[in-house]
Structure 1
């Protein structure tokens, strides 16, 4: 089988989305992406220097994408995303693809953050035995585990009280910059977290068609933002599964306001509003080693574990 390797271009988006969803039909990871989702990620990527398309004749057999961080601190963790089409698996493509992506990541890293340590990382769903075996064979180590949690939305969900001295209000674009700064502060000590720049924040929230401001809420103390729940909606999930899902992208509270029920109050309002808006399910991802007790918060809100993801890392010498 003769393979052609070249960088991705935006013209490849339909084929990449088709490959991704063909793989999802086999792998059942729960991660569904549309052409619009790939268009958004391609806009943020360095396609000439940080991507790979693998063709077997006219067919896209595999693809890979290097995802850099805007403001790395300490160690630059560069994510390597990619998939091999189910029809082309077990032919050694993945074994060649991942090291090639790691080398592209090394070159881009050296040009942008010389002197900073580099770790390339990739996520694998725990039941994807082939993916797990591949990354471990290539020397990647499991650095962290994440639970993907889900809860069905309905009348049985309890409404947590708003603690004294706080106010829960809907997200307002006028507070966008304040929320960005609070978000950066709330996640400052979380594993793998980096500060979001104004540009990255806008791409993820205020300018993103996936952001759902009407189901996102802020906690105020003396008029200032001290906590938040920020939600997204991915139409492709509903299109492919028939389930209208609200994705809870970020939940956070400033250190000095934790342990008072602020996050519980925020989350319960988001879930209630989502139910009113016709969402049938809410989902989110949580670090199993999160030191703030976030997993307990979500379990009390009715969430249960649907899947487990493993963040694998490999330090790169240069």
Structure 2
């Protein structure tokens, strides 16, 4: 995973001011694979300003002369045992260089956080067979598969009836309500693939930085006064697809089987349609220990894109 770049190439850390250059690189790469950019300028700015991301050590922007030709990063949450990575370039030598830098930095992070090893997770479109082969050659192995699910709204969508005994709380306007949302999400996702628990402060800062998210987009369900289910939506897919996006949907184990997830989904469909959205999008881990994929199919969603996560263990 080591490569020496040509003398005419230069490398420096990315900055917020490089967002347009990053957008161009990511959009070109994605368009070549899936036929559309699947990325916006806000996405680029959010990634470059994500709380906890240290561009001086964890990001690389490669230039041929004055032209950006490669971009890569590594990002860890919580205890940094799981590290998300990505890299974008059409130049094989630059790809090898970037992956080498990512692995080197991953080893440093493992030592820094006291781990004997860390896991790198790379997200790859199923259609990107060349990258999948290259990652396999570099020692990556399949981790899991996500489906991007979508339902289209051709007009108004009927608002579902609230299940008996359930109270709906709209929005999370203050710290107390946000702490409740954080607690429900953390407990619900514990043990699932790729989930790293984050402190309330870290989680809150990430949400505050997300340009497509507002605290009014939180819906919390209570049963007998106890919070048991949560849906977070955002506007991540409004600019490019005019679709609402469900970022998180979770129901505590003790409250499952009561139709709460179906209610939250149909409720969000109605909200998105009323806002003029042409659809609603979410991502589901097809290896989720709960039958999540069946749930989404049952409410009329369909798989619009297949995305694999490839994993590499890096020893400190």
> What TM-score does the superposition give when structure 1 sets the normalisation length?
0.88
Aligned match of 2:304:
306
Aligned match of 2:232:
230
Deviation at 1:225, TM superposition (A): 1.6
Within 5 Å, which residues of 2 pair with 1:139-158?
139-155=139-155
Deviation at 1:214, TM superposition (A): 4.7
**1:165-199 deviation line (CA, Å, top 9, x unaligned):** 21223223231111111110111121221223223
Count of residue pairs brought into register by the alignment: 306
Distance 1:108 1:10 in 2: 23
Distance 2:208 2:57 in 1: 28
Aligned match of 1:15:
21
Deviation at 1:202, TM superposition (A): 2.0
> Unmatched 5+ residue regions in structure 1?
none
**1:185-233 deviation line (CA, Å, top 9, x unaligned):** 1111212212232233223435633125555422111222210111010
Distance 1:109 1:69 in 2: 13
Within 5 Å, which residues of 2 pair with 1:172-187?
172-174=172-174, 175-187=177-189
Aligned match of 2:59:
51
CA contact (8 A) 2:170 2:216 kept: yes
Q: 1:200 to 1:189 in 2, by over 3 A?
A: same
CA contact (8 A) 1:204 1:211 kept: no
Aligned match of 1:130:
130
Distance 1:30 1:69 in 2: 29
CA contact (8 A) 2:31 2:37 kept: no
| 2:205 pairs with 1:203 | yes
| 2:103 pairs with 1:98 | no
Q: 1:223 to 1:206 in 2, by over 3 A?
A: farther
Within 5 Å, which residues of 2 pair with 1:109-128?
109-111=110-112, 113-128=113-128
Deviation at 1:157, TM superposition (A): 5.6
Aligned match of 1:33:
39
RMSD between aligned residues: 2.1
**Worse-matched range after superposition: 157-166 or 102-111:** 157-166
Aligned match of 1:294:
292
CA contact (8 A) 1:213 1:231 kept: no
> What TM-score does the superposition give when structure 2 sets the normalisation length?
0.89
> Unmatched 5+ residue regions in structure 2?
1-5
CA contact (8 A) 1:217 1:229 kept: yes
Distance 2:39 2:27 in 1: 7
CA contact (8 A) 1:216 1:229 kept: yes
Q: 1:67 to 1:210 in 2, by over 3 A?
A: same
